[in-house]
Structures are given as structure tokens and as C-alpha cells.
Structure 1
């Protein structure tokens, strides 16, 4: 698909470090993350839960998620019909994407954002042919001021804030009209009209789960296929945050991953972690401390000199990495997935669950609970876990 290029003001991130920190837990945005992660990496009372508990959680999540989706979809459909006082065929009424955001009562913040950023002309262009993943008012309300209400948005004057908002809206738009049933029923991705600054920072990732679709592991399509004369709207329940850091940069800058970073450096994998395209189940420092020597501290890892031990450490790190982007909904139900480890044991077991999912190495007794997770970076996804995934049981 052809991309439309837009200018992005580089001063943006300095102005938004504090104001966005509460929201960016699921995105590799710069700063604001260190303190937030410090408060969230104590993921569970114990390192592992039983397969029975993980299964119960996964099944309950699947049932409730689908039930909530159907109820919300029905409510939104009624609202659309009442607001437009017509059939759902918007094409017959000459409603562009921009006009629909102004007519539909749950898009007040979005309409204000389109107006204040000067994107109204593009969203009103009859020849646009866009798919717009449109956050509703509840999605904007989760953002910090001044991005949380239509009144606050219309009052924005700061060029850096306007630049961020404009780029964020562009990250929600894709060239071409993609209906819900045209989204592949598997892991897939789309290029947005946001200007590309780094690898995959203009890409969104779609995950199927039962009859539902989620984007970047954070935003669910809660009302599909609202047709406009110049495209199609897919209503989503969270604002998508474009990534600005690679997996390696995120881990390197976060104080909770000093041991993992040391292991990446020792095995010459840190540079790969700044490029590539992969998912890492990232143990915290506390998780490493519970491991046997010499993998339990930065000092122990830095002191490794024997090539065979470095090789074993490399395979241990790679045992936590999958090729490609895997968000919570992509983990399946206790499916075996092949890691990058070159050892004889190179598979892990994953499952979708609450709040993200579970993962187990072949040597682990139980499953590690992922939290936080779905942290999208320029080159991959991070799922934080409280302990190492083990290929084989520890020697007594």
C-alpha cells in the first residue's frame, strides 16, 4: 500500500515524558517507563502457577471477552442507528469519515482531535479510501490531560502536543478499505500513513481471538465496519501508541533488566535486540537472582570467560525469544512454540489469559504469569515475566 508521509516534530517526546507516562505501559515510548515498570514488575505472589489454574484463567477470559464484545457491539450499533437516523449504509448518505466522527456521539474527542490537528481535509477527502481504526471517547478519556476530553483537545496550542496528536492519529489510518471479514484470521500487520522514522514504527499488528480482533495487544475492535463514502471506520477502545524504542533500547534503559541486559551484552545479542523482529519473554532482575550461578547477577555474568558457558548463556537467552511479533491473543491455548535457542530443547508452551497470558519452559514446573505485557517496540514485543524459562529442571 502507498504511504503518505508527514512531518514529525522531534521535540515532541521531551514535552510529553511526564504527561504520557501513565498510559505508555504497553508501548516502547521513551522515558516515563522506568518508574512505571518499577511499580509493576512484581507480577505475582509466586513465580509459577499450576496448569490447572492457568487453564481456568484462560477459559474464563475467553468466555467473558466474547460475551462483553457482543454486548458492546450491540449497544454501539443501536447508537449509530439512532444518531444517523438511517440504515447502516452510510454510503447512501454521503457521510465521509470526518463527518461521521462529528455525527456519532461517541467520537467527540476524535472529531476534536481531527479538527485541531488540521487533518479534517484528509478525513473529508472523497478520494481518500482509508481504513481508520477510530478510538471512541472512552479511549481518549484514558489519556492524560490535555488529550482526554474534546474541550481540552480543542484548547491545545502547544506545537509539540499538536504534533504528537497528529502523528498518533496518522498511526490509526491505513490506505485502502479493509472490512472486518478481510482481516486475516491469524497474526497480521498493516502499514499506516504515519511517516516511518524507525523500523516498523508505522506498523500496526492485528491479532484474532475467537471472533474478535485486537491491535498491538491493547486496542480491540469493538464495532466493525462503519462505512463512510471515503473509507471505513473500525471503532477501537484504546488509543494506539506508536513505538519509539527498540527492544534492546527498552531493556537497556530500564533498571529492572540489568541482568538480562548484561546477558545480552556478554552473548553479543544486544545489537540484535535493537534490530530484528521478535518477541521476548523478559525475566526481571529478581527472576535472574533466583537462578543458579553464574546466571544470577550482573557481576557473575560479566565474570564469565569460558566459551562453552557463554554459549550456554546465549542459548538460555534465546530460549526466551520467538521470531516475529506475538501479542497476548497470539499465544493460543497451551501451544508449543519454537524459540531461537539452538539447544535440543527449544520449545516453550504459551497460553492467552488474564491479563495477558502465561508461558512455561519445558523445565518449569508451572506457568509464569505475564505482566506487564504487549509492550510494542519498533522491532518487536516484550512480555515481562517473574522468573526464567528453563529448558530442563535445575540440578539439585
Structure 2
């Protein structure tokens, strides 16, 4: 066991030394925020018993999520902290070996409503909701911990509700979906997993799709355009591979361009300028939404 996850105590005579999930959190000062959250939620004793998997954000992950210090955790309502911790805990042991390479698996957390977390394995690295697991399989007597690089957020409602909830970026996309008709709405409200490349309002306007143009557009043409922005299945940004050519719901392919953490998409109908993913991995219950800065033009 590494020094990061060292023994809870040192003694000179043989005694039963426990290494429960709670014990690890208590002695490891990389998790002071998570420790405080578990304590405020009243889950300290629970995580000493039973069998669990915990996706454990480090203190740096909490700070990146906007929590200034442990006091910020302790000032939150107990119900909010409880929901936060519940979403990071699964009531069974899920080691990294349980997830197949290239696979995305939805696992129910202790959070009752919208509590699915999506675990992927890419190049032998785990991710949770698209966030890298920096250390996997930290063994505890009552389960396993995976150290994750971000505080995880539960999925929003279905894809169309998520789009409608962000009019600053997606009001024109929402209008286009409505104009395209019931067929596309049914897809975006279904339980079938999808990936959506969602152009911003500015992207639509730059391509000539002003509010009046969308209102007067042929619904079938809009549905064809929007189907070119959909992939069947749930794909987080770190699952895309440079040069990959996934087939869209329209049936035509797009080309993924990946450089480090940057992802862009080349459309067959516009190969001169790629659409950049400006905000990846917006999670809804039935889709992963990637905000892009250009409309993808399908082939004729």
C-alpha cells in the first residue's frame, strides 16, 4: 500500500487493524473535504460497515468545484451534503476489473433520484461521468475507493429538459428541435442513451439559422440537420479517439479530432472548419451533451 493510503495506526503488538473506508478518510489528509462531508451527512458509521464503492474527490477537486474550505462544507444544509456524498457511493464493491475496456456502465448510487453514475474505461483508465479516476482500487476492508479528479454531479433531467433549462446557450437549438417535430422530441425524451453535439445560439446564427429562419424552416430538413448532431449511445469526451469516424443517427459519419483534452468535429458537409467542443460532458439522464461552437453540416 502506498504512503498516500498508509495504515491507520502503528502498534508493536499484533492487534486487529481495520482499514474501512471511514478509516482511510480519517487518516488521509488528501480527503479533508470529503471527510467533513461524510461526517456532516452522518454517514461515518455507515461507511465502516457493509460493502461499498466510493468515488473519492480529493481536496483539490472540491476546491475546483468552488468549495473554498472545509467550513464551506459544514455550512451547507445537511440534506445537500447527504445528497452529495450519496452520489459518490455505490452499495457494492466495483473494482476497476469489473469494467471492460471501451465500455460505459451505469451504476446506481445511494442517491435515490437521478442517482446513476456512468463509469468508463479508456486505455485502461477509469473515468466517472467523464472525469478521470487518478487512483483506482484503493482497497478497504469493506469495499474499494477510486480517487476521482472532480466532484461528481448527478445527471439533469432528460436531454430536451436539459437543453430547455439553458436558454442563454441553447434557445435556438430548442426552437429547432420543436420545429423539427415529434420524432426528434421523442428521441430526446426517451430512455435510449444518446450523445448530442449541441450548437450554441451563436453557432446557429453564424450558419444562418436565426430565430425567424428556424421558425420558417422545413421541418424535415431541420430533423435531418439535427440527426447529424446525434450519436446513438453515451460517449464522454475522453472516449473519443483522434481520427474516429462515428456514424450519426442520420447515417452519415463525422470525424473526431482529438489533441490532448481538446476535441473538435469535422462534418462531411463542411470540411474546412471543425466545430470545437467548448463545454464537454453535460450529463442528462438519457444523454451526454457536448456544447459546440459551429453547426455540423451533413453531406448533400
User: Once the 2 structures are TM-superposed, how far is the Cα of residue 252 of structure 1 from its aligned partner?
Assistant: 1.7
**1: CA distance between counterparts of 2:8 and 2:17?**
13
In the TM superposition, what whole-angstrom CA distance separates every residue of 1:188-224 from its partner, at most 9, and x where no partner exists?
2232333443xxx21112233323222112x321112
**2: CA distance between counterparts of 1:333 and 1:85?**
49
Structure-to-structure mapping, 1:1-396, within 5 angstroms: 77-81=2-6, 93-125=17-49, 128-144=50-66, 147-153=67-73, 155-156=74-75, 161-197=77-113, 201-217=114-130, 219-254=131-166, 255-268=168-181, 269-276=184-191, 277-292=193-208, 296-304=209-217, 309-341=218-250, 346-365=252-271, 366-392=273-299
Residues 122 and 391 of structure 1: CA distance in aligned 2, closer, same or farther (over 3 Å): same
Number of aligned residues? 291
**1: CA distance between counterparts of 2:298 and 2:150?**
37
Residue 336 of structure 1 aligns to a residue whose secondary structure is coil
CA contact (8 A) 2:198 2:289 kept: yes
With 96-105 and 206-215 compared, the bigger mean Cα shift is at 206-215
For the aligned residue pairs, the C-alpha RMSD in angstroms reads 2.3
CA contact (8 A) 1:329 1:352 kept: no
Unaligned segments of structure 1, at least 5 residues: 1-75, 87-91
Higher relative contact order (CA 8 A, sep 6+): 1
Q: Name the TM-score, length of structure 2 as normaliser.
A: 0.88
Consecutive aligned runs of 4 or more in structure 1 exceeding 3 Å deviation: 81-86, 351-356
Residue 85 of structure 2 aligns to a residue whose secondary structure is helix
**1: CA distance between counterparts of 2:60 and 2:9?**
20
CA contact (8 A) 2:40 2:81 kept: no
The structure with the greater share of residues assigned to helix is 1
The structure with the greater share of residues assigned to strand is 2
Residues 333 and 278 of structure 1: CA distance in aligned 2, closer, same or farther (over 3 Å): same
Residue 243 of structure 1 aligns to a residue whose secondary structure is coil
Residues 211 and 258 of structure 1: CA distance in aligned 2, closer, same or farther (over 3 Å): same
Unaligned segments of structure 2, at least 5 residues: none
Residue 45 of structure 2 aligns to a residue whose secondary structure is helix
User: Once the 2 structures are TM-superposed, how far is the Cα of residue 119 of structure 1 from its aligned partner?
Assistant: 0.9
